[in-house]
Amino acid sequence: MNGAESLVKTLLANGVDTVFANPGTSEMHFVAALDSHPEMHCILCLFEGGTSGGADSYFRMKRDVAGTLLHLAPGFGNAFSNLHNARKAGSGLVNIVGDHATHHLAYESPLKGDIQGISQSVSHWTRVSPDAASVAHDGAEAIRAARAQNGQIATLVLPADTAWTPLPDGAPATCRPAPALHRPSDAQIEAAAQRLTQPGAALMIGGAALYGPAREMAGRIAARTGARLLCDTLIPRLGRGAGQPQITPLPYAVPPKIEALAQTSSITLAGANRPVTFFAYPGSPSLPEPANCPVWELCRPEMDIDATLADLAAATGATGTEPRRIALDLPALPTGNVTLEKAGTAIAALLPENAILCNESISSGFHVMPPTAAARPHDMLGGTGGAIGWSLPGSVGAATACPDRKVVVLTGDGSAMYTSQSLWTMAREGLDITVVVFANKGYQILRDELLNVGVQSYGANAQAMFDVENPELDWVALARGHGVPGTRAADMDRFTKAFAAGVQGEGPSLIELVCP
């Protein structure tokens, strides 16, 4: 028994049985400890962005934490971007970061770096275990922190000597219950209930209210009060499709976002941050609501959303009200040449019930996504932090959390290039994931945004930085290189056939849709 094994036992004893791992040499004793506990599910990612993206979406689907295993500060750096997305998603996860043995940190060895510095720039909770006897307790505290406040980033740094030092006992530590969540006062609930009945009132929900029972409750409140039900542009997880209570996601671009809120008299937040534009632009506001529209923080994202909505439903008399629901609208399969709208139609027609849709289609999504809103019921995961390269890792996490559900990834080619290593993990784990890459051969969102800042035409340097051409990427070859079967579709018949095969079959596959 040593510190590493006491940590593995603590993880397992407290329900953390999945680790997205990219180990290095300083984690050898932890690897040995994992090896002696085959009940721990270790998922190898060939790049650390796969570990953090995997644990993020695992939490979004399971509402419980997984671990990541990272190698010193550079390993944490590679995980950072998807940790940022996880933080913005409100996901809880436990990073376990190996470090040099404590006595070795006196010297300028190659891998010595500022792990605490980088960790604290994205984690809610960071601790360096001081000795082997503390590791189990620190691990339990990390799990508690990751589960607190509806989900937090917890990082436990494990110097090698705290892992390898023998322990006389080494029993697992028990994770204390997470601290109770705050909830609004009765007076705040009552005021919100009154407000929501006013003309033009909106209820904006987030977090766990975007799907499942809390979403139902929000739908009842909206139907009873007449308030509009809103959610943010980029959401961690949204229940969509037939039967879901109707909701209006705010648009990405600034003018339609302002337009969407133009007639709004008040916005009451339940589990959501206030709406804000994605970026600022010269002469354009950061806040999209009308000047005379108050924004009320009824329930912050880290507060008790379920209880808040239950109280609000009672206060509005909505407990028995039937929500307005989305009606099923399955379009006919499109044929002929490729358009993004047709691709969306095909996906909407074929998406199986209970699928998990990881949507990183960015600019293509403006055209692809609308038809899917009335498809069969499904969950959609979105890019919460705006850092691209989350959807391939995220689909690994979602498929690991929900092995019985079909996972579909919709991604731009630019985004997919950041973390394409996750294709290999899909194949290794035999995950049931269908990946659609919208190959528009560039960063279309940047082409659009350059026009947004007033540049009318662009030259060689902008072209060099926006176009991913000369050479073109070959996604079928990239998929095969990672061990995933791939298909290129340049017309709609080919696409619908490949997509149908993907969602009706088993295991991972990739479709490159050649975009016009």
Q: Which of residues 380-399 bind its own copies (CB under 8 A)?
A: 383-387, 389
Q: Amino acid identity of 332?
A: A
Q: Which is nearer to its own copies, 37 or 405 (CB)?
A: 37
Q: Sketch the per residue contact string, 397 through 426, with its own copies: x for CB under 8 A, - otherwise.
A: -----------------x--xx-xx--x--
Binding its own copies (rule: CB under 8 A), the pick from 12, 446, 490, 501 is: 446
Task: Choose the stretch contacting its own copies; rule: CB under 8 A; options: 156-164, 204-212, 216-224, 334-342.
Answer: 156-164
Enumerate residues 266-295 that contact its own copies by CB under 8 A: 273-274, 276-280, 282, 286-287
Q: Which is nearer to its own copies, 184 or 206 (CB)?
A: 206
Binding its own copies (rule: CB under 8 A), the pick from 6, 56, 64, 100 is: 100
Is position 120 an interface residue for its own copies (rule: CB under 8 A)? yes
DSSP 227-245: PEEEE-SS-S-EEESTTSB
User: Cβ 118 to its own copies, closest distance in Å?
Assistant: 4
> In this structure, what token pair is assigned to residue 267?
């916005």
Enumerate residues 71-90 that contact its own copies by CB under 8 A: 72-81, 83-85, 88
Enumerate residues 478-507 that contact its own copies by CB under 8 A: 478-483
Is position 174 an interface residue for its own copies (rule: CB under 8 A)? no
User: Cβ 73 to its own copies, closest distance in Å?
Assistant: 6
> In this structure, what token pair is assigned to residue 31?
């690897």
Q: Which is nearer to its own copies, 57 or 85 (CB)?
A: 85
Q: How far apart are CA 175 and CA 197, in angstroms?
A: 43
Is position 256 an interface residue for its own copies (rule: CB under 8 A)? no
User: Cβ 153 to its own copies, closest distance in Å?
Assistant: 12
Q: How far apart are CA 206 and CA 300, in angstroms?
A: 9
User: Cβ 424 to its own copies, closest distance in Å?
Assistant: 7
Q: How far apart are CA 390 and CA 85, in angstroms?
A: 8
Q: Give the 3-state DSSP-derived string for 440-471, with helices as H, strands as E and coil as C.
A: CCECHHHHHHHHHCCCCCCCHHHHHHHECCCC
Task: Choose the stretch contacting its own copies; rule: CB under 8 A; options: 60-68, 98-106, 181-189, 353-361.
Answer: 98-106
Whether residue 52 contacts residue 68, with contact meaning beta carbons closer than 8 Å, is answered with yes
Q: Amino acid identity of 416?
A: A
User: Cβ 12 to its own copies, closest distance in Å?
Assistant: 12
Preceding amide of 371 cis, omega within 30 = no
Longest Cα–Cα distance of the chain, Å, equals: 71
Q: Which is nearer to its own copies, 41 or 137 (CB)?
A: 41
Q: How far apart are CA 234 and CA 251, in angstroms?
A: 9
Q: Which is nearer to its own copies, 385 or 397 (CB)?
A: 385
User: Cβ 296 to its own copies, closest distance in Å?
Assistant: 16
User: Cβ 245 to its own copies, closest distance in Å?
Assistant: 24
Q: How far apart are CA 285 and CA 28, in angstroms?
A: 52
> In this structure, what token pair is assigned to residue 402?
């929900």
Q: How far apart are CA 501 and CA 470, in angstroms?
A: 31
User: Cβ 491 to its own copies, closest distance in Å?
Assistant: 22
Cα–Cα distances in Å, from 495 out to 311, 335, 412? 47, 9, 16
Is position 234 an interface residue for its own copies (rule: CB under 8 A)? yes
Enumerate residues 308-337 that contact its own copies by CB under 8 A: none
Whether residue 356 contacts residue 407, with contact meaning beta carbons closer than 8 Å, is answered with yes
DSSP state of 123: -
Q: List CB contacts of 184: < 8 A, sequence separation 6 or more.
A: 192, 298, 299, 303, 308, 311
Is position 117 an interface residue for its own copies (rule: CB under 8 A)? yes
Is position 262 an interface residue for its own copies (rule: CB under 8 A)? no
Q: Is the dihedral of CA 292, 246, 60, 487 positive or negative?
A: negative
Binding its own copies (rule: CB under 8 A), the pick from 13, 133, 164, 181 is: 164
Q: Sketch the per residue contact string, 426 through 445, with its own copies: x for CB under 8 A, - otherwise.
A: -xx----------------x
Q: Which is nearer to its own copies, 171 or 455 (CB)?
A: 455
Binding its own copies (rule: CB under 8 A), the pick from 114, 329, 353, 506 is: 114
Binding its own copies (rule: CB under 8 A), the pick from 1, 13, 32, 314 is: 32
Binding its own copies (rule: CB under 8 A), the pick from 171, 262, 328, 464 is: 464
Rama region for 256: left / alpha / beta (φ>0; ψ in -120 to 50; rest): alpha
Is position 130 an interface residue for its own copies (rule: CB under 8 A)? no
Q: Which is nearer to its own copies, 72 or 214 (CB)?
A: 72
Distance of CA 13 to the CA centre of its chain: 26
3-state helix, strand, coil in the chain (%, to 5): 45, 20, 40
Binding its own copies (rule: CB under 8 A), the pick from 16, 21, 154, 350 is: 21
Q: List CB contacts of 250: < 8 A, sequence separation 6 or more.
A: 230, 231, 232, 233, 257, 260, 261, 275, 288
Q: Sketch the per residue contact string, 343 through 382, with its own copies: x for CB under 8 A, - otherwise.
A: ----------------------------------------
Please name the residue that has the structure tokens 């030092």: 165
Binding its own copies (rule: CB under 8 A), the pick from 6, 47, 306, 495 is: 47
Binding its own copies (rule: CB under 8 A), the pick from 307, 450, 490, 501 is: 450
Burial 178-209 (b: 16+ CB within 10 A, else e): beebebbeeebbebbbebbeeebbbbbbbbbb
Binding its own copies (rule: CB under 8 A), the pick from 34, 94, 254, 318 is: 34
Q: Which is nearer to its own copies, 117 or 403 (CB)?
A: 117
